[in-house]
Amino acid sequence: MNQLDALKQFTTVVADTGDFHQIAAFAPRDATTNPSLILKAVQKPEYAPLLSDALTRYRHLGQDEVMNHLLVRFGCEILKHIPGRVSTEVDARLSFDTEATVTRARRLIDLYQGQGVHVDRVLIKIAATWEGIQAAERLERDGIHTNLTLLFSFCQAVACGQAKVQLISPFVGRIYDWYKKQAGVSWDEAAMAGPNDPGVQSVRRIHAFYKKFGVATEVMGASFRNVGQITALAGCDLLTISPELLAQLQASEAPLGRALDPQAANSLDIDFVQYDEAAFRFALNQDAMATEKLAEGIRAFVADTLKLEAMMG
């Protein structure tokens, strides 16, 4: 059995790509996209017609609407290749605007439903700011399911659980990047691998808290830099993985066992915590890594959205 098939015994495998032609080879259940992945895809010749078609049909409605239709078109194409859900991201420029996020999310769902896609097959991706989490709480109450992204801290995960969001995406690789950069030449790659990886440890802490206290929100590790980070989280609810790393898993027959056991969390000494807005903002502020990576992530997604808009003319 290869490692990809072994992983599927413990964890729902999700493809992290906008390149829907790559998906079938790995048979994931779900798929995730973001502005950077869509930008990467539309620069390939085989996907250029999707952008051209959106421009031809919807340019008269304005740039936001062209973007909405382009994102939904990619999502619909992806859904032809998977049995589960696709995640489609709200414009990162709305990350601190609850009302605008809710409005944009509802528009995306309306477009999906116009294409015959059931609401349960779509997750609306929203940055895990305080405003984004409040928007997600409202959407969930209306039956629109959400994926809270750019999640780097424990307080973000706790607040998402309180809001009863469907799913969170802790960014393993970007946490790893920050600590590696901070350590500089003193970083010991071998010593900080696997369960000692700071990104892996972050997801394990969140997973244990959710399981111990019965939080229904799904945990989906994301943003991986290497296969070792993935295998160290085997047993997590879901893992969203790039095609490159999916191929490495598929090509390897090294042993892979469960690393996270939901039942084991019951015996762990974990304190229950909750956050109101002030406590959330303070806790996030005290976490330099999370504060920096959240801001950086929003800026990066905005930059790629602007590049997409530039391609639209």
Provide the annotated active-site residues: 125
222 touches 169 (CB < 8 A): yes
- Compute the distance between CA of residue 195 and CA of residue 212 in angstroms, rounded to an integer: 20
- 252: its two tokens: 């390897």
**Residue written as tokens 């808290």?**
209
- Strand ranges for 210-272 from DSSP E: 218-221, 238-241
What distance in Å separates the CA atoms of residue 264 and residue 11, rounded to the nearest whole number? 16
Give the list of residues 6+ apart from residue 162 with CB closer than 8 angstroms, or none. Answer: 274, 275
Q: By the 8 A CB rule, do 108 and 121 touch?
A: no
| For the chain, counts of helices (H) and of strands (E) | 13, 8
| Partners of residue 16 on adjacent β-strands | 32
Cα distance between residue 164 and residue 158, in whole Å: 10
- Residue of 50, 31, 53 whose CA lies nearest to 41: 50
Distance CA 187, CA 269 (A): 30
Q: In one letter, which amino acid is 129?
A: T
Amino acid 225 reads R
Closest CA to 131 of 148, 110, 108, 154: 148
Cβ–Cβ under 8 Å, residues 167 and 147: yes
Residue 16 token pair: 């992290």
Indicate the residue type of 216.
A
Residue keyed to tokens 């769902």? 109
